[in-house]
Amino acid sequence: MFGLDRQGILDIAVTGARLVKEAADARPDTEWVFEYSPESFTGTELDFAVSVCDAVNEVLAPTPEHPAIINLPATVEMSTPNIYADQIEWFCDHVKNRDALIISLHTHNDRGCAVAAAELGVMAGADRVEGTLLGNGERTGNMDIMTMAMNLYSQGVDPKLDFTHMDEICTVARECTQLPVHPRHPYAGELVFTAFSGSHQDAIHKCLSKRDDNAAGTLRICQSIQRI
C-alpha cells in the first residue's frame, strides 16, 4: 500500500520510532512503555518482520527491566491457528534481545479461530494477548477476551481477569455496543446450561435424581438451571 521497497518500509518504522522516543525522552518524569505492531504480520515474510522489529528496537532500546511490547497481529486471519503459532515461535527464536521484549498477540476472527490462534500462540512463546469483550471489533471481530480468559481458568490458569459478574458485564456491553450476546456464546450465552436433546435431558435427569438432596444445596441449584 505504500508503494515502497523493503528499505523504504523499514525507514518509515524507524522514523516513527525515533519520533516517539524523542517525545518520551523530553518527558523523563513519565514512565513510558513502548509498543510496536508490524501491521499485517501474518502476511509479511517472517525474516523481514524480524528485521523491521530489530531496527525499531535499536531505537527504543528496551531492557529486561524496561521491556518493549512487540505486538504481532493477524490483521486478517489468513491461516489455521497452528500456522500462526509456528510464525510466533519462529519470530521468538530469531528476534534480537528476546529477554527485553514482551511478545504480544493480536488475533482477528475472519476464519472463526481467533481464540484458538491466541491459545496456540501463547503456547508457542508469546507473553501477552490483546482482545475485546465478547469479540467485538472490525469485520468478524477481534479475539474474544472473555472466552480466552475462561478457557484458561477452566484449565487452572489464572488469566488475571475477573468475570465473576459476567451477567452484569454483558449487560453493560450490550448497552454500549447495541449488539446482542449470541445465545450460544461459550460462557455468557443464555443457552449455556440448556439441553434440547432428549437423551441429554434424560441423562441430566437421571444424574440429578441420584444426588443427595442435602448436599449443600447443589441439587436445588442444578434443578433451577436444567431444562427438562
At residue 185, φ and ψ (nearest 5 deg) are -55, 140
Average pLDDT of span 89-116:
98
Banded pLDDT at 203 (limits 50, 70, 90): confident
The reported pTM is: 0.86
- List Cβ neighbours of 45 (8 Å cut-off, separation of 6 or more): none
For each of the domains in the chain, give its residue range(s) and CATH number, in order of start: 6-130 (3.20.20.70), 193-228 (no CATH)
- List Cβ neighbours of 201 (8 Å cut-off, separation of 6 or more): 195, 226, 227, 228
**Residue 69 DSSP label:** E
What is the β-pairing status of strands 35-36 and 128-130?
Answer: unpaired
Average pLDDT of span 128-140:
95
Average pLDDT of span 189-194:
88
Average pLDDT of span 123-148:
96
